[in-house]
Each structure stands twice: as C-alpha cells, then as structure tokens.
Amino acid sequence: MRFYTAVVMFAVSALALIIGFGQQTIWRPPSEIIETPAISEQGSADAPLTVIDGTVLDQHDGKATVRVSGTDRAFAAVGPSDDVDAWVADAQVNRVSTEGRDLTVSASGDEATVPDPAGSDLWTSEQSGSGTLTMEVDSSSSTSVIIASDGTHPAPADVTVTWPNINPTPWVRPLQVIGYLLLLGGFVLLLIDRFADRRGPRRRSHRRRRLGRGGAEAVDVRESVAGAEDAEAPRPADTTDGDADAPGQGGSGTDDAAGSALANPDRSRPEASPRSSRSTRSMRRPGRLAALLAVAISSALAVTGCASGASDTESESATAPSDDTVSTTPVLKAHFQTILDEVAQVADQADASLDGDLLATRFAGEALSARQGAYTIKAKYGEATLPDRVVSSPMSVFLPPTSADFPRTVMVAVEDDQAEGQPKRLMVLRQDSPRENYKVVSIISHLFAGVPDLPSELVGTTMLGDDQLSIPASQAGTRYSDILLNGDSSQFATEFTADEFLTTRREKVTQQRDKLGEDGKLDVSYPAGATEPIALATADGDGLVFVSLDETWDVRPAKENGVIKDLPALDAAMIGASETKKGLERTYSTMLVFSVPKDAGGQAQLVGYSWQQASVKELE
C-alpha cells in the first residue's frame, strides 16, 4: 500500500512542478499591461491639451508609465486632478477616462490655444521631449496627467499607458513547494516500505522456528507446571469411597492439565514477549510518519497560500499614513520646497545682473518694487547695498492655505544658519490664478520676537476678514503710520504696543530735520505700499497681518531760490549733482507684520519688518 501511495505522490508532484515551472516560462503572462486610448478616433484633432484622468492611472497596481509620441515637441506633467482641471479651464481638451474596464476619450472646451503649460507651479513633476517622452506616474485616482505640445499646436495623439503586471502567477511558489514536498514524501514512503520488507520476514521465520519445535514441548511444559502446582497444593481429605482416582492413576495427565487450565484461565494465556511489543510499535511508525508528513504539507500550503495576502497586508499597514499625517491642503511642503528653491535661484540671478524683469517672474507687489528700486540705485551708485539674499532652506515654518481656491497665499519662514531655531526671514508668496506661478509679495527680514503659534501645516490657515480682528487688516497699516507721524499723541497709540522700529524711525526723522536746520524742511508721509494687506489666522484665531508702507521724505529748500548743498553721496549719484534747488524725494520701502488679537481691547504687536531705500529723485 505504501508503494502505491508513493507512486501517486510522485505523479502529483511531477504535475505540480510542471505547472509551477511552466507558469514561470512557457505559460508566463505578459510582464506589462498596456492600454492605448483612441484619441485620434474619439477625440478632437485640434485640441491643444490631453488629460489622462486619475481613474485611468488607478486601474492597475504599480506605477503607470505614460509614453507620448508626436511630430513636434511633447510635454507631459503630473498634478493634483483639481489643479489640472483648474489650469485647463475652458480650453479644448481630450479627456481620457474609464468606462468599466475600457478607456474612453471625450472632447470638450472652446479655447483653441493656451499658454505653454511647462513650468507651472501646479505640476508636481513634468517632462519635455522632442517628439517622444516617457514618464512614470504614481497610480492615484487623485492625480492626473496633462499632455501638450506648446499650447498652440495640437497635443500629441499617440499616447500609451503601461503598468507592470504585478504577481501575474500567484500559484507558482505554492505549486513548487507542493511538488517538492510530495516528492520528498514519496521518497520517505519508499524508504519506510523498503525497511519494513527487510525486517518483517526475519521476525516471521524466527517465530515459525520457535513454534515448530512441536506441540509436545508446549504440552510438557504445561503439564510440568501443573504438576508442580498440584504438589505444592494441600491434598483434600477423602470423603468418598475411593471412586476418585489419584493423579497419575486411572486418569490422564492431559485431562488434569486441561482442568487446571479451565480452573485458572489466566495461566493458560502465554505472556506477550518484548520482541512482539516492539514489532507492534514498529508497525505503527509508518502511519505516524504519514500523519506527520500530511501535517507538514498542510502547513506549507497554508503558509505559501497566505504569504501573498500577508505581505500585501503588511505593506499596506507599513505605508498607509495615519489620519494625523495626511495633509488636506492644496500644496504640500515637499512640493513647495521646489517652488521656493526656484524663487531663490531667480532672485540670485536677478541680484547678480540687476535684472528687474527677471525678478518680476517670481516677485510682485512691495517685494518687487523694493528690490527693483535697489537695483536702480545699485546701478548708479556701486557702493549701495542690495537687500538680503533670498534663501530657500532650511524651511522651519510652512503655512499653506486650507482652501484650494485662487488666489492662494503661503507663508514660509527660513531659519538663520547662524541661529538654530530662529527664523531669519518670513516670506509671503501668492498665486493669483492657476496659470500664474507663486510670487513673493512680502519679505520680513528683521524679527523682534518669535512667530505666534500657527496651525499645523497639514491643516493650513485661512484668510481673515476685517470683521474678524480687533483692528481691521485693511486699517492696520494706516493706523500704525499715524503713530509713526504723531507718536503718543496719535488717536491709535493705545492700539499698538511700543516697539523698537517705531522709536528708531521717529528718531531718524528728527535727526534729519535737525541736520537741515534753517536751510531746508522735511515732510514725511506713509502712503500704502504695493502689497495689499494680508491677514492669516494663527492657531488661536488671532491674525498675522502683513502690510506695506512707502515711507516718503520730501526734502525742499526752506527759502525760495534756496539751495540744499552737500548732498550725501548716494543722493548726489542718483540726481547727478551734489546740490539741488528743487529738492529731493526719498522713498523707503517698508514691509511690516503684526500680531493682531481677535478680541476687542487687545493691543497689536509688531512681529517684524523690512526697510529698504527704494528710490531717490529730484523734485520737479
């Protein structure tokens, strides 16, 4: 029986191994899954854009590879689906989506041409190529791919999406393990059967020899044992007239032995020998080994069959972020770091070449006018200093907007390399529309105290209205400028705490007036700067309010036909003379940030400022 069982196990083992190795070789499925949307047949031939929806990318596991081919320049970018849709807006577009397991293409939109999408801050990654490009994309339903040429020409229509065929043969390993185990089990059964055949006949022949000595010997042994017992037992008294024969007389010894055996049945039962007991145990071993082998095979099947599912579960649990680490903001810190790096790079290039036009690609508002003014002064007066260099890392604070609506405002703080943990400057960047990039609108280079507690970067902040703060954000700059002009006599003096900047600026004005004496007069004003007030919510609901002012000095001769002589070297270089009869206008770009309480009665506190001479010109 063991032999036939082994043969069956060998047959099943061979079948399992053939199927297992066959799935790895001749029957192996394709290593990739390829989908080709019918853009030319189902879409518009003139559309400047093609969008592959996130549902297409998420059809299969693993990273998707998008291949684009065209006759001209090919461009592809990846971004959040909402941002891609916002950038596309009303443009003509071929949208690739899913209908069941099939890809469909639909055309929509009216705008025939669009700006070149390359370089947009909305894209998390992008790639351009001459005619052909290949891009790997994470398979996510919330991510889309936008494809174009240059925004003017039609988008390439030859597009394929490919995924790796992950684990196409899940039964390969289990079948191989089953085959090897069955093969091993068959060999074990053959060895057991062979061992049993070699030992079994010797035990049987030895028993036959022992039993072949004849029944007489066995009878003699039994008779002698019975006789000994009768000799030792007391003879009963004769109660009869001698009718009963004595042993050995008139009666057979065999009959007496039989009677003794009947009287004591246990005596006639031969004792089991140790050899026969071992033989019985040895006969049970094959069954036990077969049972153990079955348990081993079952365990192997359970392990191999569950290995794939277990690994998937472990992978998901290891990579799935917890709820408190998932950002809900429209822009993430890692992505924004690349944007900030580009801003710093543009600023460095513009500073080196004093190129205000280049600077305008990444700066706007008061941050742009202040730096462009510094370029103008530097070009005419070489000893003038430029504003502090813009750095992008390490980014110690990142405060994105909660809402995905435009415009979007982001505040960052960059640490001072020389003072760990202390921000060197605050920067506010704003993206006005989906097709525009982030631009720096405010830079705070001097901080008095730490930045107030801010919301988590995973949650973001909101823009506050005038009615949500004790001092309306739109009035914060105006009221503070009144204190700069009038000091403690200002009607708003009690709304702000005293600060170093306020004291310093008032002292500078006084010193300049004393220096002019009777030869000139100085009028100071603080019109609003180029950046509109921005109010960001802090962690406790207060406001972080950014404002800009243009501190303007109007210096004129005190008397008619008077002359202001011995002008400073910078002023002289700017107007081309060391004296003036008309007078001068100096403008100092000022950017301020306040911590404004939400509850009435609290005082606003100046958190930091930037102050930079932006222009000098002779009055008309």
Contact 476, 533 (CB under 8 A): yes
Which of 302-316, 334-348, 524-538 is least confident? 302-316
pLDDT in tens, 432-469: 999 999 999 999 999 986 788 999 999 999 999 999 99
Q: Under 8 Å CB-to-CB from 83, ≥6 apart: which residues?
A: 122, 330, 404, 434
- In the structure, what pLDDT confidence band is assigned to residue 586 with cuts at 50, 70 and 90? very high
DSSP string, 560-571: TT--B-S--HHH
Greater model confidence, 523 or 183: 523
- Give the pLDDT score at 420: 55
pLDDT of residue 172: 66
The pLDDT score that the predictor gives to residue 403 is 94
Query: What is the spatial distance between Cα 337 and Cα 346, in angstroms, rounded to a whole number?
Result: 14
> Do 76 and 181 belong together in one domain?
no
| Same domain membership, residue 176 and residue 153 | no
pLDDT at 342 over 50: yes
For residues 6 and 164, the answer to whether their CB atoms sit within 8 Å is no
Which range is least confidently modeled, 153-167, 303-317, 380-394, 516-530? 303-317
Mean pLDDT of the chain: 81
Q: If DSSP codes are grouped into helix, strand and coil, which group holds residue 619? A: coil
% of the chain beyond a pLDDT of 90: 57
Tokens of 496: 């702000």
Checking if the pLDDT of 270 tops 60, the result is no
Q: Is residue 24 part of a domain?
A: yes
Q: Look at residue 402 and tell me whether its pLDDT is greater than 80.
A: yes
216 domain residue, yes or no: no
Whether residue 486 is contained in a domain is answered as yes
Q: How many domains does the chain have?
A: 3
213 vs 491: which has the higher pLDDT: 491
Look at residues 464, 430, 599 and name the one whose alpha carbon lies nearest to residue 537: 464
User: Which two tokens mark 316?
Assistant: 């998901």
Confidence of residue 255 (pLDDT cuts 50, 70, 90): very low
Count how many residues are written for the chain.
620
- Lowest-confidence segment of 115-124, 160-169, 608-617 by average pLDDT: 160-169
In this structure, the answer to whether residues 8 and 144 fall within a common structural domain is no
Alpha-carbon separation of residue 26 from 15, 170, 171, 199 (angstroms): 15, 16, 15, 47
Q: Do 96 and 185 sit in the same domain of this protein?
A: no
Give the per-residue pLDDT at 418.
54
Instruction: Examine the pLDDT at 200 and tell me if it is beyond 70.
Output: no
Residues 350 and 466 in one domain: yes
Report, as an integer, the average pLDDT of 109-120: 95
Asked if residue 315 belongs to a domain, the reply is: no
13-22, 414-423, 513-522: least confident range: 414-423
Residues 74, 183, single domain; the answer is: no
Confidence of residue 246 (pLDDT cuts 50, 70, 90): very low
Q: Which of 374, 201, 170, 188 is nearest to 290 (CA)?
A: 188
Give yes or no: residues 430 and 532 share one domain.
Answer: yes
- Whether the predicted pLDDT of 213 surpasses 70: no
**Shared-domain flag, residues 460 and 586:** yes
Using left for φ > 0, alpha for ψ between -120 and 50, and beta otherwise, residue 83 falls in: alpha
Say how far apart CA 99 and CA 95 lie, in whole Å. Answer: 12
Task: Taking residues 29-47, report their average pLDDT.
Answer: 87
Q: What is the rounded CA–CA span in Å between residue 90 and residue 6?
A: 74
Amino acid at 146: I
Packing angle of the helix pair 2-24, 172-211 (nearest 10 deg)? 170
Pairing, β 158-164 against β 93-99: unpaired
Note whether 24 and 43 are same-domain residues: no
Q: Is residue 255 part of a domain?
A: no
Beta bridge partners of 564: 580
Tens-digit pLDDT profile for residues 562-583: 888 889 999 999 999 999 999 9
- The predicted model gives 521-533 an average pLDDT of 96
The residue among 164, 179, 207 that closes a domain is 164
**Is residue 282 situated within a structural domain?**
no
- Within-domain flag for 366: yes
- Same domain? 3 vs 81: no
Mean pLDDT (whole number) for 544-570: 93
* CA 365/CA 79 separation, integer angstroms: 28
| Residue 409 near residue 430 (C-beta atoms within 8 A) | yes
Q: Scan for tokens 């019975």, then name that residue.
A: 226
Confidence class of residue 33 from pLDDT cuts 50, 70 and 90? confident
Neighbours of 264 (CB within 10 A): 12
334 has pLDDT over 80: yes
The verdict on 53 and 151 lying in the same domain is yes
* Res. 24 pLDDT band, cuts 50 70 90: low
Q: Is residue 283 part of a domain?
A: no
pLDDT at 311: 38
Q: Can you tell me which residue has the tokens 């921005």?
A: 534
Task: Look at the block and give the residue holding tokens 């939400």.
Answer: 598
Contact indicator for 464, 568 with CB cutoff of 8 Å: no
Residue 264 has pLDDT above 60, yes or no: no
The whole domain housing 182 covers 1-28+169-198+289-306
Judge if 52 and 194 occupy the same domain. no
Q: Best-predicted range by mean pLDDT among 208-212, 268-272, 457-461?
A: 457-461
Q: If you average pLDDT over residues 464-492, what whole number do you get?
A: 96
Token pair for 457:
């970067």
User: Is there a contact between 92 and 108 (Cβ–Cβ < 8 Å)?
Assistant: yes
Q: What is the pLDDT of residue 168?
A: 57
Give the pLDDT score at 416.
Answer: 61
